[in-house]
Amino acid sequence: MSDTTEIRQSIIDACLEMNASGLNQGTAGNISIRVEDGMLITPSGIAYNQMTPDDIVHVRADGSYGNNQVPSSEWRFHLACLEARSDANAVVHNHAHHSTCVGILNHPIPAIHYMVAAGGGYDIPVIDYATYGTPELATLVREGIAQRKAILMRHHGMIATGATLAQAMWLAVEVETLARMYLEVLQITDTPPCLPDAEIDVVLKKFESYGLREKN
C-alpha cells in the first residue's frame, strides 16, 4: 500500500482540481491510473473532499477487486481504455458541461481549431449511448478510444487519456475548451469553417516530434 500512496493521492488531487476548475460537478467524474496488474481508480460514492488514499481501489486486470471496497461504477470502461491504448497510463472521465452538450448533439468536434489534433486525429468523435456502468458501454468506449486519445459520449460526458495523469487532465481541459468553442461557433453557422486534413497532418507530426508539454 505505502508505495502507491503518492499515486493514490494524485488521483484525489486531480478529482478536487476537476471540480474546482468547473470541469466536473459532484462525484460524476472518475479517474484511474495504470499500475502493475491493473489500475488504481476512484471509489464509488465517496465525496472527493472526504477521500483518503486508502479509499482508492485497486482493480486487477481481470476485473477483480477487494471485498470491502467498491470502485467507481465505470471501472469497466477505465480498464477498457487502458487495454485499448498502450500509450495511456491515466484515464480521466467527467461530465464537463460543454463536452456533454456536444455529445448530446452527437456532433463530433471537427477541425475548427488545430488543437483538435491533441486528440490524435482529425476530430473528437462521439460514441453511441449505452447505460452507465454496463459492459455494453465499456465495449463502445473501447472501440472509440482505440481511435483517439479523447472521446465524447452521447448523453453522458467525455473521456481523456494520457501518458501521465497531468497529460490526461490537460487533454480533458483542451477538449472542454474545444467543445465550448464549437457550441459558440454553431450559434453563428451550421457549417463552421474547418482546417483541411493536410494541415491537421502537419500539426499531428509536430505534436509527435516535439511532444506535448510535460507537466510532470
17 included as an active-site residue: no
The catalytically annotated residue of 74, 83, 184, 214 is 74
CA–CA gap between residue 121 and residue 71 (Å, rounded) = 31
At its nearest, how many Å lie between Zn ion and the CB of residue 159? 9
Backbone angles phi, psi at 86, to 5 degrees: -70, -20
Helix (H, G, I), strand (E, B) or coil at 113: coil
Q: Rank residues 79 and 112 by Cβ distance to Zn ion and give the closer one.
A: 79
Element spanning 213, H or E: none
Left (φ > 0), alpha (ψ -120 to 50) or beta: where does 37 sit? left
| Lateral strand order in the sheet of 57-59 | 57-59, 38-41, 30-35, 90-94, 157-162, 150-153, 126-127
x/- string (CB under 5 A) for Zn ion, residues 141-180?
----------------x-----------------------
Q: Rank residues 60 and 154 by Cβ distance to Zn ion and give the closer one.
A: 154
| Number of residues counted as binding Zn ion (CB under 5 A) | 1
The residues annotated as belonging to the active site are 74
Contacts with Zn ion by CB under 5 A lie at: 157
